[in-house]
Structure 1
Amino acid sequence: MNIGQAAQASGVSAKMIRHYERLGLLPEIARTDAGYRQYDEAAVHTLRFIRRSRDLGFGIEEIRSLLQLWRNRQRASGDVKRIALEHAADLQRRIEAMQSMKRTLERLAAHCHGDERPDCPILDDLAADAAPSGSHTPDTRFR
């Protein structure tokens, strides 16, 4: 099948398929005499694996490792589990950081009058944290 058909069958855009090829995530793809890529079911299955991995938030290097383990029938499932648990822990750290950002924004918004006045604690906080070191003492009243 051509790249458009492979994209439709796998749920991965043609642009991303070419990107994954450049990254070496796909095995070498056969080409016609005219140079067109020809994908088989194994390539489409690999693309689905990559798409599902991306859907779960795995990065390219993690996907590379998972693909190697997937292709290796002598693998230890503990290696796969370790990658999954490390990724889950990273996701938890990111969730906690985002929740902290959300709480900060909600606190700042609660102290903003939201009217026609120019005074705005949200902008004051952003400006305080953006000031060069030593030039301004951050206002931490709303943290």
Structure 2
Amino acid sequence: MASEAFEDLVAEFELFDDWEERYRYVIELGKAMPPLGEGERVPAHKVEGCVSQVWLVPELAGAGADARLDFRGDSDAMIVRGLIAVLHRLFAGQRLADVARTDAHAELARLGLDTALSAQRSNGLRAMVARLQGLARAAAPA
């Protein structure tokens, strides 16, 4: 099940008539995110598999089965910053186990991202999802 914030985003996307408007909105979401500091743009936080520079900084809250994922992110490309914001709405505040088992492809398809993004952007988005889900799996209790 997607987060309430993501469900709100799905509803917001339904208000737009075309993908040009949706792209502008995704970019606005990215602009609203605070940038990472230079000290956070390090290889340990960099996401490989993206054409743009992408960094994701995980922040875990709680412990055990109730541990939750949050993260901050940044990119040198505005549309990618917006995609990070979309992923934040999907995953932030969710239990680690829920993040790990979310069918992100299906959830993002509800926004039409599966058909609207270029192949390179889609690959980068998949790499970001894989990174976040991998972090959740690695941090989840055994």
TM-score, normalisation: structure 1: 0.26
Report the structure, 1 or 2, having the larger strand content: 2
TM-score, normalisation: structure 2: 0.26
Q: Answer 1 or 2: higher relative contact order, Cα 8 Å, separation at least 6.
A: 2
The higher radius of gyration belongs to: 1
